[in-house]
Amino acid sequence: MAQKGLAPKINATAEALATSSMWRSSHNKRRCIIPVDNFFEWQPANAGNPKHPSAIAMADREPFGLAGIWTAYERAPGQWQHNFAIITCPANELVSKIHHRTPAILAQAPYERWLACIKPDPHDLLTPFPSDLMPAHRKTLCVSDAAASPVRGL
């Protein structure tokens, strides 16, 4: 999320959604689902070496939804800035080997509950997704190279 004149924040911690002045309004009124078929976490390498990306997806390779929040503000008359942030939660067993946090993955059943923005608060949906349903695959470094082919290394 972005405040006027500041760079947008791409992650919002689940633990701070209801209490942070930055996230509270969007959490209460503007929730979204970000459709993806995988996400990347970057694993630290030995000193002096670049981090290595790991692609994390569902075992069945089906798309899934990440919990998100969004906002919009008018930068100038008629010029709207739209931003979203991915909600993160503590990492599950798989992702914790790479990073201490992970995107909050929503199972399909509660999509409507997440989007409804009604009480009770759906904070219970923002928990680590089961590790056994999502393998991680180490990828080549070209995923971070803008000059590389878009499909090379994925």
Domain spans in the chain, listed from the N-terminal domain onward: 11-138
Q: Compute the distance between CA of residue 32 and CA of residue 37 in angstroms, rounded to an integer.
A: 16
According to DSSP, the residues that pair with 68 across neighbouring strands are: 32, 86
Write the single-letter amino acid at 67.
A
Q: What is the signed CA dihedral for 15, 131, 43, 124, rounded to 10 degrees? A: -10
CATH architecture entry for 11-138: Alpha-Beta Complex (3.90)
DSSP-assigned letters across all residues of 66-90 = EEEEEEEEEEETTEEEEEEEEEEEE
**pTM, whole model, 2 decimals?**
0.80
pLDDT tens profile 3-29: 555 666 889 988 988 888 888 888 888
Whether the CB-CB separation of 134 and 58 falls below 8 Å is answered with yes
pLDDT tens profile 104-116: 999 877 899 999 9
Instruction: Return the higher-pLDDT residue of 35 and 29.
Output: 35
What would the mean pLDDT of 116-130 be, rounded to a whole number?
A: 86
Q: Going by DSSP bridges, is the β-strand pair 79-90/64-76 parallel, antiparallel, or unpaired?
A: antiparallel
CA-based nearest residue to 130, from 87, 88, 91, 86: 91
Q: Compute the distance between CA of residue 33 and CA of residue 85 in angstroms, rounded to an integer.
A: 10
Query: Is 60 exceeded by the pLDDT of residue 150?
Result: no
